[in-house]
């Protein structure tokens, strides 16, 4: 089967992954309204393409926190990559390095930070942190990541408790016995009581800043008020995210929330977005509305499920080619020419 677009990888993953793994990756919270809205919201945005603009030479590179990436698509933090492919996050790291883009490794990786780092030396990697009740374990993780050369710390802010994902409840989801949360097993075992710390507040950003010199990016911001608080607390970046629709259902689609957040920060920090990106034209829409870069979650897992590192590279390459083509057809020869003038919201 020719893999032409990201939905081809989705269909493959749905067909071949074990049902419990597919359901875990696909799950949204409650009615999955927000999960689905993340995708639908992109369809309400229309382009205003410009003509006769000389797009014979294209430059799709950009920089995030001063580091150049080959195009403005990175890999969002998602857990349990070994459910999709035996090599798990090691394959993800290798694919990101091969495509010269950023991979955000999850606290809930099924490979250790050391394994991820060794798999793709020199790759651009950030580490995503859930703050746990065992603060010493969280501190140790942050310091391990920095020592291993991770270049950013991504604090996930939208998970004081895990959202209700019905299929996971029905399936009694748990990791197979041979898989472990490799970065946490020395500190504690995942138990009946959630190890996540629901008492985390904005003041904990100061605590994190006392532990590391890494830039801090906060993930899970959806409102103007929280965007302003993020800037005030000295973060270097914001990822507009609703956790793929897996937390609070019936919140805003991320592409809709992006506009509010970008207006609030007024260029003081970089703003990124994840959730619902399925085509290169979606990437162009997100950049037009002020995102510096987008991050993909589920599509990266579909790529892994298809052919591991090679499959994930295929997913990234398709997005890269579609993004380049969309830019050219919209009349932009470089990322610096993308702006809000390129889009309008549909009246429908």
Would residue 202 count as lying in a domain?
yes
Query: Is 276 annotated as contributing to ligand binding?
Result: yes
Q: What pLDDT score does 184 carry? A: 87
Lowest mean pLDDT among 27-41, 51-65, 184-198, 238-252: 184-198
> Is residue 192 over pLDDT 60?
no
Higher-confidence position of 193 and 152: 152
Question: Any known ligand binding at 18?
Answer: no
Q: At what angle do helices 89-98 and 298-330 cross, to 10 degrees?
A: 20
- pLDDT of res. 194: 72
- Is residue 331 included in any domain, yes or no? yes
| CA dihedral of residues 24, 28, 31, 35 (deg, nearest 10) | -140
Mean pLDDT, rounded, for 252-277: 98
- Full-model pTM: 0.97
Inside any domain, residue 70? yes
297 labelled binding-site residue: yes
**pLDDT tens figures, 76-132:** 999 999 999 999 999 999 999 999 999 999 999 999 999 999 999 999 999 999 999
For residue 173, give both structure tokens: 């989801």
Domain annotation covers residue 341:
no
Q: Is 281 annotated as a binding residue?
A: no
Poorest-pLDDT segment among 10-14, 193-197, 260-264? 193-197
Any idea which residues carry the catalytic annotation? 243
Nearest partner of 277 among 48, 29, 43, judged by Cα: 43
Domain carrying residue 149: 6-336
pLDDT of the residue at 191: 43
Helices (H) then strands (E): counts for the chain: 12, 12
Q: Is residue 186's pLDDT more than 80?
A: no
Q: Is 344 inside any structural domain?
A: no
Ligand-binding site membership of 224 (annotated): no
Instruction: Output the six-digit token pair for 85.
Output: 């492919």
CATH number, domain of 25, equals 3.20.20.70
For residues 50 and 347, what is the distance between their CA atoms, to the nearest angstrom?
21
| Mean pLDDT, range 307-332, rounded to an integer | 98
- 156 labelled ligand-binding: yes
* pLDDT score of 190 more than 60: no
310 belongs to a structural domain: yes
176-190, 317-331, 333-347 — most confident range? 317-331
Place of tokens 């057809």: 329
CA-wise closest residue to 232 among 265, 209, 260:
265
Residue 73 reports pLDDT greater than 80:
yes
- pLDDT, mean of residues 21-45: 98
Calpha distance 74→59 (Å, rounded)? 17
* pLDDT tier, 56 (very low <50, low <70, confident <90, very high otherwise): very high
* CA–CA gap between residue 80 and residue 173 (Å, rounded): 12
In a domain, 273, yes or no: yes
188 in a domain, yes or no? yes
Q: What is the pLDDT of residue 40?
A: 98
The Cα 311–Cα 92 span in angstroms is 10
pLDDT tens digits, residue range 280-291? Answer: 999 999 999 999
For residue 187, the model assigns a pLDDT of 56
Q: Is 24 annotated as a binding residue?
A: yes
Alpha-carbon distance 121 to 232, whole Å? 34
Q: At what angle do helices 254-265 and 224-232 cross, to 10 degrees?
A: 50
Count of domains for the chain? 1
Confidence of residue 1 (pLDDT cuts 50, 70, 90): confident
Q: Determine if residue 243 is labeled as part of a ligand binding site.
A: yes
Res. 154: pLDDT tops 50: yes
Indicate whether 195 pLDDT > 90: no
């Amino acid at each position: 089967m020719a893999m032409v677009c990201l939905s081809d990888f989705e269909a493959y993953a749905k067909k071949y992954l074990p049902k419990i793994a597919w359901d875990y990756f696909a799950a949204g919270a409650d009615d999955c309204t927000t999960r689905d809205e993340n995708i639908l919201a992109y369809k309400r945005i229309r382009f205003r393409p410009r003509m006769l603009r000389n797009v014979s030479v294209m430059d799709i590179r950009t920089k995030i926190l001063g580091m150049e990436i080959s195009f403005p698509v990175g890999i969002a933090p998602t857990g349990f990559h070994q459910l999709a492919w035996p090599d798990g996050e090691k394959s993800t790291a290798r694919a990101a390095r091969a495509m010269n883009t950023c991979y955000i490794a999850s606290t809930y990786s099924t490979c250790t930070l050391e394994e991820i780092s060794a798999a793709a030396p020199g790759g651009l990697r950030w580490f995503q942190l859930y703050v746990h009740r065992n603060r010493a374990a969280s501190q140790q993780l942050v310091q391990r990541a920095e020592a291993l050369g991770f270049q950013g710390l991504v604090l996930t802010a939208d998970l004081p408790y895990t959202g209700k994902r019905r299929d996971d409840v029905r399936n009694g989801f748990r990791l197979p016995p041979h898989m472990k949360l490799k970065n946490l097993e020395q500190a504690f075992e995942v138990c009946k009581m959630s190890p996540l710390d629901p008492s985390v507040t904005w003041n904990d950003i100061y605590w994190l800043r006392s532990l590391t010199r890494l830039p801090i990016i906060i993930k899970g911001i959806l409102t103007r008020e929280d965007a302003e608080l993020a800037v005030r607390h000295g973060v270097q970046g914001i990822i507009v995210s609703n956790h793929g629709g897996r937390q609070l259902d019936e919140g805003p689609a991320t592409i809709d929330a992006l506009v509010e957040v970008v207006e609030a920060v007024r260029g003081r920090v970089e703003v990124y977005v994840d959730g619902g990106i399925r085509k290169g034209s979606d990437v162009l829409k997100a950049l037009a509305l002020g995102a510096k870069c987008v991050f993909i979650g589920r599509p990266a897992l579909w790529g892994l499920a298809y052919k591991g590192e090679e499959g994930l590279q295929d997913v990234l390459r398709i997005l890269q080619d579609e993004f380049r083509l969309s830019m050219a057809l919209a009349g932009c020869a470089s990322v610096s020419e993308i702006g809000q003038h390129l889009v309008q919201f549909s009246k429908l």
